[in-house]
């Protein structure tokens, strides 16, 4: 948390100073924070699974857990997106509801995920695999490999050991909820900071600094300098405060989700490890 706050302070200073320098160099720079022709909101949603997939690859997650991670990240983004519209100006509520949805899905997956996986394996190996073998043999014309050659029989490898089907090992215990929800939490953090408007607030301060430097006046008074420095401090601390708000909202949401799924508590949980 301390590292995130210090990093956000540097981020706020960097955004304001960099924007101000560019505004001084380019006289035609605009202070608009969005395009004139905005993209429709339904087009936002396909980029969420793509971003979550990049996070899964970067964090080297297990491929068999990737579909569930994508679903959790997408549902959490939907809850955060629509709740931020309903509770506009209050980012804590939207972050809490998004983290609550993520935590409930991840804890539910942790509790029944292994049972569902074992049930799916039993269904495939005991019932569906027999029909699939018949479909391959009759429709796809895929025949079984022939018998061993004479040379192989003379060498003693007469048994068809490689053709024997080995049942997969069944899982015992629970899955790790923190691993399943990690990409979803990473999706929540940038959206929560963006909704609060703390990153965009640096443009207003940079615009004020650039106006004082490029308005054609050669008189520089102490009040304008103090006002510019104060605006820089306000932007930096606004970004840091928004990071704390997002962190508290996510923490409260995860805590409530753990209470919903495990009302009597659960030992060795890694929900708050990150």
CA-to-CA separations, 191 to 90, 163, 185, 229, in angstroms, rounded: 13, 52, 10, 28
Q: What is the 3-state secondary structure (H, E, C) of 195-248?
A: HHCCCCHHHHHHHHHHHHHHCCCCCCCHHHHHHHHHHHHHHHHHHHHHHHHHHH
Tell me: the pLDDT tens digits for 233-242?
A: 565 566 667 7
123 has a pLDDT exceeding 70: yes
Q: Of the given ranges (97-111, 124-138, 207-221, 251-265), which has the lowest mean pLDDT?
A: 207-221
Residue spans per domain, the chain: 2-20+47-111+171-261
Summarize the confidence of residues 61-66 as an average pLDDT. 82
Residue where the block lists tokens 């495939």? 124
Q: What is the 3-state secondary structure (H, E, C) of 236-255?
A: HHHHHHHHHHHHHHHHHHHH
Q: Of the given ranges (22-31, 37-46, 159-168), which has the lowest mean pLDDT?
A: 159-168
75 has a pLDDT exceeding 90: yes
Does residue 47 come out as left (phi exceeding 0), alpha (psi in the -120 to 50 range) or beta?
alpha
Q: What is the pLDDT of residue 206?
A: 65
Q: Of the given ranges (56-65, 68-77, 205-214), which has the lowest mean pLDDT?
A: 205-214
């Amino acid at each position: 948390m301390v590292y995130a706050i210090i990093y956000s302070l540097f981020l706020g200073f960097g955004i304001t100073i960099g924007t101000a320098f560019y505004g001084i160099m380019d006289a035609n720079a605009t202070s608009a924070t969005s395009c004139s022709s905005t993209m429709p909101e339904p087009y936002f949603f396909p980029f969420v699974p793509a971003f979550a997939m990049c996070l899964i690859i970067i964090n080297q997650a297990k491929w068999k857990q990737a579909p569930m991670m994508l679903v959790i990240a997408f549902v959490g983004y939907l809850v955060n997106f629509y709740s931020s519209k309903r509770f506009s100006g209050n980012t804590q509520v939207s972050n809490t509801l998004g983290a609550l949805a993520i935590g409930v899905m991840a804890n539910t997956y942790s509790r029944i995920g292994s049972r569902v996986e074992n049930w799916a394996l039993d269904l495939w190996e005991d019932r569906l695999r027999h029909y699939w073998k018949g479909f391959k043999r009759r429709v796809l014309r895929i025949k079984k490999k022939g018998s061993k050659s004479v040379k192989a029989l003379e060498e003693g490898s007469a048994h068809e050991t490689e053709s024997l089907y080995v049942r997969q090992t069944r899982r015992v215990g629970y899955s790790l909820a923190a691993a399943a929800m990690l990409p979803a939490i990473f999706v929540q953090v940038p959206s929560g900071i963006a909704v609060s408007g703390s990153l965009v607030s640096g443009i207003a301060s940079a615009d004020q600094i650039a106006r004082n430097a490029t308005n054609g006046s050669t008189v520089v008074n102490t009040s304008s300098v103090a006002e510019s420095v104060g605006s820089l401090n306000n932007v930096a601390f606004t970004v840091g405060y928004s990071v704390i708000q997002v962190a508290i909202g996510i923490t409260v949401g995860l805590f409530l989700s753990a209470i919903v799924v495990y009302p009597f508590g659960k030992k060795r949980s890694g929900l708050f490890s990150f």
